Structure 1
């Protein structure tokens, strides 16, 4: 997991991820985001699920609406190191 270094979920632990670039395949984005945030080179496998995450302000107005697409990934290279948008990176069981 990565501890987010910037808003909107700064300080929270989450699965590495980010914005899909135009023309980028989902699995390519998973590989890129893992490398950018953790220093790891991964091979995406099974699709684990598709989830919504809606963040609201104190008046319950929607501020962010994320669609999260999670893959089970296998490490194939690299070294675990916080980078880019991550304040920390750590393995959890």
Structure 2
């Protein structure tokens, strides 16, 4: 079974990437970009906006598709994840929903933090790494 998911790649004015620490499985304790499963009949854009608001408290404008990845999930599920560039319009990042923590991260953080499997490789491949520190 394939499950449609979306994620948001958001940078601040210092070109740092917004990451959340997952508070629940799958990926509990790992850092990733905000995102999750689409709801029935939901568009990618609406899903990105909803997930970012639920997990970080930020309202975003959704931009172009950065890339797509397939990730294995429990019980033979495959998560089809479409990650979009997004711009924060208002709010201060605050952990909510299934996010245990939220923070702006520079290049140095990406090599220090325990990241979700494949995140760094995907961001590198899509040329959307943070340049800030």
Secondary structure at the residue paired with 1:68? strand
What is the deviation of 1:55?
4.7
Question: TM-score, normalization: structure 2?
Answer: 0.62
**How far apart, CA to CA, are the structure 2 residues paired with 1:37 and 1:83?**
5
TM-score of the pair, normalised by structure 1: 0.87
Moved over 3 A (4+): none
Pick one of 86, 89, 96 that aligns with 1:76.
89
C-alpha distance after superposition, 1:35-61 (max 9, x if no partner): 0000100001011011111257xxxxx
Matched with 1:31 is 49
Corresponding residue of 1:8: 26
Give the Cα–Cα distance (whole angstroms) in 2 for the partners of residues 86 and 64 of structure 1. Answer: 22
Q: Which runs of 5+ in 1 are unaligned?
A: 57-61
1:22 aligns with 2:60: no
Between the aligned partners of 1:23 and 1:39, the Cα distance in structure 2 is: 23
69-78 vs 47-56, which deviates more? 47-56
How many angstroms apart in 2 are the aligned matches of 1:92 and 1:36? 20
Structure 2 stretches of 5 or more lacking a match? 1-18, 107-133
2:63 match: secondary structure? strand
Q: In the comparison of the two structures, how many residue pairs are matched?
A: 88
More strand by share: 1
Give RMSD over aligned pairs. Answer: 1.4
Q: Which residue of 1 aligns with 2:66?
A: 48
